[in-house]
Structure 1
Amino acid sequence: MKKVRIISILLVAILLLSMIPGVGAQDEELPDIGTIKVGYIPILGFAPYFVALERGYFAEQGLDVELELFRSGDPMIAPLSLGQLDVGGGETGPALINAFNQGLDVRVVGSLASQPAGFGAVPLLVRTELIESGEVTSPADLAGKKVAVNILRGNAEYLLARALEQGGLTIEDVEMVSIPFPEMPQALANGAVDAAILPHPLAGRALGDGSAQVLLNGDEIVEGAQNGVIYFGQRLLQPENREIGVRFLVAYLKAARDLQDEEGFTFRTNDEVVSAIQTWTNVPEPAIRNGVAYFFDPNGVINLDSTADVVGYHIANGYTEASEIDLDALIITDFLEEALERVGEFEPPVADAAEPAATEEVEG
């Protein structure tokens, strides 16, 4: 009788454990495809990738991840579709739209950084000399000026266009100059450009040395802008490698949640998080701690309204082969849904900053 009771207790314990999110998932055999190559840009918008790597969340999921530097999201698309890169991130730009239109194996699987109210991490900066002289006081005054973006036809151009609209201008009214983000602070300092769309923490350099000032914060340009999304490429989209993709997002979600704290969706109080960002952006820790935060949705939710606006901008300007695109087909949610089953839904610590404006769950 005693033996029967012990067996019954064990069975109940096993049943209870099976009801805990994620328990048992780690026992599933992981396909051996070698190193998971992940594209990144050295800006705060990729912080969850940096944190997941440095805090061991990828390793915890049995993933050997290697980060590869890119100038923007668009150049990641071709290697993703060829299986030379497994994960990327960035704008829903022309390269992604065209690849999808051509039937190539690249899809959006979750959100990266966004800019709801209070999270204007990608400001429009203007040289201090121009602001203090009164030559530039609003976007309308940028007519004829040199403005830096990291890549033409990318997310920075989209944000610049929306900022210029506030002054009755278009991108045709300024001289856009393509400069990698890390080189923009110096370009502002030496007068090579007059203004720049520059994300934090790199923006902190130009603000810290006094060479530039904020004309518009990112959330003043487009509130709720979905600056970045997560891309999966050919290898992770293969059914036999699905478990790898799910585990990647499990690690990502854990890292995104590390970017939340009692002050509400910031990262400044966590030394390990700040160190991870510093390692991969090469920006001094004070600039990171004093910079403006992005919002990283802790459940990976994408702002569909913003994404549709970005895609619409590229289509309207003739940057894409397609005249329209089916976002429900471009964005697939099953990887994220399974990852959330394992880690559970996250309840934001600050109610009034919990959700980006006009955000809805993505339906796949």
Structure 2
Amino acid sequence: MTTFTRRGALGLAGGAAVLPLLGTPALANTKLTVGALRFTSHAASFVAFERGYFADEGLDVEFKFFEAAQPMAVAIASGDADFGVTSITGGLISLAEKGAAKVIAGALMEEKGIDGQMILASNEAHAAGLTSPKALDGKSFAVTQAGSSFHYMGAKIAAAEGVNISYKPLQKVGAIIGALKSGQVDAWTIVPHIGKALVGAKAVSQIGMVADYLPDYQVTTVFTSANNAANERAKTEAFLRAFSKGAADFNAALVDKTLDAAGQEEMVKLIHKYVYEDQPYEKAAKSIINGAMRLNKDSALNMGSVQDQVDWFKSEGLVKDSITTEMLVDPSYVQMM
């Protein structure tokens, strides 16, 4: 059965061969490099690859893995990767302003009733009184880089509580985990597949939830080079169709849990090939299941959240004041929320 989405209709109107009907896909053997982090939140790409959704669209995909968001944005802009899924950062916004990158869809989002990103404290800081975000005044807060999503979340939490915090850039998630566990940094925010594992191991303490400060936060987006968005519509729409199918499968198995136990286990085993792949399945499975957050249906994008993020980066002087969301987002691909 052929399904036409809003994006598909736009592609057909532009004359592109959007949906393969029978036989060989229109984009047979088109090679793509997809940027990703080894997070459960990036599962849509992994599912689309493992279940052949990319291949069905004629896309020959390989993954390029990163340890932070901003380097991925640079790779997309330089052509070292074709598509990426990660948070909005100052680097991504600046690249968009220069005409090098475009956000084309939404991925991970905070949703009421579903466990989301956690606010964590080192055990040392927790024992000294950091038992809630209200006690963050004067404390250090870990970020990968200035202008990262961690920086944005930390600032929003601090503003809501009326406290001052200092940011400690540690470049990589692994380095942050080590610093938090050893008490070299006081606090951090992170997705639940990592946060719950750390708290469960009593390596750190939980002091709050990001959703209490940023409800409906568009945590990650799908983005590509401005050239792909403008000149490779058939390829870009094919990627988004496959990605959206992967997200739907993920939500059904681990968020809505409309699949039976066997279907849920199959999904966890698939994700384990990419997330906590260095751990035994029995150990990794719990963290993967605990880390399941909603991936936007049909890759829709919460433009209100995107606007808030752009406004914050501008207010902090991290990007040019002249930047607009129209520079960042290509609306011809986006299903608005």
TM-score category of the 2 structures, normalised to the smaller one: 0.7 to 0.9
Residue 158 of structure 1 pairs with residue 152 of structure 2: yes
Q: C-alpha displacement at 1:275, in angstroms?
A: 2.0
Q: Which of residues 167, 175, 178 is equivalent to 2:161?
A: 167
Q: C-alpha displacement at 1:100, in angstroms?
A: 2.0
CA distances 1:248-290 after superposition (whole Å, capped 9, x unpaired): 111111111012238854699512321232222216111112x
Three-state SS of the structure 1 residue aligned to 2:308 is: helix
Change (3 A) 1:198 1:242: same
Change (3 A) 1:250 1:262: closer
- Structure 2: distance between partners of 1:168 and 1:334: 39
Change (3 A) 1:74 1:242: same
Residue 280 of structure 1 pairs with residue 280 of structure 2: no
- Structure 1: distance between partners of 2:223 and 2:2: 31
- Structure 2: distance between partners of 1:267 and 1:67: 29
8 Å Cα contact 1:204/1:288 also seen in 2 = no
1:332 matched to which residue of 2? 330
Q: Map residues 1-364 of structure 1 onto 2, 5 A cutoff.
A: 22=19, 24=21, 29-30=26-27, 34-104=30-100, 106-131=101-126, 133=127, 135-170=129-164, 173-234=165-226, 236-237=228-229, 239=231, 241-261=232-252, 264-265=255-256, 269=261, 270-282=264-276, 284-289=284-289, 291-320=290-319, 322-335=320-333, 361=336
- Structure 2: distance between partners of 1:175 and 1:329: 28
Q: C-alpha displacement at 1:311, in angstroms?
A: 0.9
Identity of aligned residues (%): 22
TM-score (norm 1): 0.77
CA distances 1:86-138 after superposition (whole Å, capped 9, x unpaired): 0012222222221222222x11110010102123422111123443x361122
Q: Report the AA paired with residue 286 of structure 1.
A: K
Judge which range, 273-282 or 325-334, deviates more. Answer: 325-334
8 Å Cα contact 2:147/2:313 also seen in 1 = yes
Give structure 2 stretches of 5+ with no counterpart.
6-18
Three-state SS of the structure 1 residue aligned to 2:297 is: coil
Change (3 A) 1:38 1:267: farther
Q: Report the AA paired with residue 176 of structure 2.
A: M
- Structure 2: distance between partners of 1:180 and 1:110: 25
Change (3 A) 1:331 1:238: closer
- Structure 2: distance between partners of 1:262 and 1:202: 19
CA RMSD of aligned residues (A): 2.7
Three-state SS of the structure 1 residue aligned to 2:154 is: helix
- Structure 1: distance between partners of 2:2 and 2:39: 39
Judge which range, 42-51 or 74-83, deviates more. Answer: 74-83
- Structure 2: distance between partners of 1:135 and 1:177: 23
- Structure 1: distance between partners of 2:254 and 2:74: 39
Three-state SS of the structure 1 residue aligned to 2:146 is: coil
- Structure 2: distance between partners of 1:102 and 1:251: 29
TM-score (norm 2): 0.83
Q: How many residues align?
A: 315
Q: Mark the structure with the bigger radius of gyration.
A: 1
Three-state SS of the structure 1 residue aligned to 2:67 is: coil
Change (3 A) 1:92 1:266: farther
CA distances 1:199-231 after superposition (whole Å, capped 9, x unpaired): 231112211211222211121131110011101
Change (3 A) 1:189 1:232: same
Judge which range, 205-214 or 19-28, deviates more. Answer: 19-28
Q: C-alpha displacement at 1:292, in angstroms?
A: 4.2
8 Å Cα contact 1:146/1:194 also seen in 2 = yes
Q: C-alpha displacement at 1:64, in angstroms?
A: 1.0
8 Å Cα contact 1:44/1:200 also seen in 2 = no
- Structure 1: distance between partners of 2:49 and 2:73: 22
8 Å Cα contact 1:108/1:232 also seen in 2 = yes
Judge which range, 74-83 or 210-219, deviates more. Answer: 74-83
8 Å Cα contact 2:123/2:181 also seen in 1 = no
Three-state SS of the structure 2 residue aligned to 1:319 is: coil
Change (3 A) 1:18 1:150: closer
8 Å Cα contact 1:71/1:150 also seen in 2 = no
Q: Report the AA paired with residue 229 of structure 1.
A: T
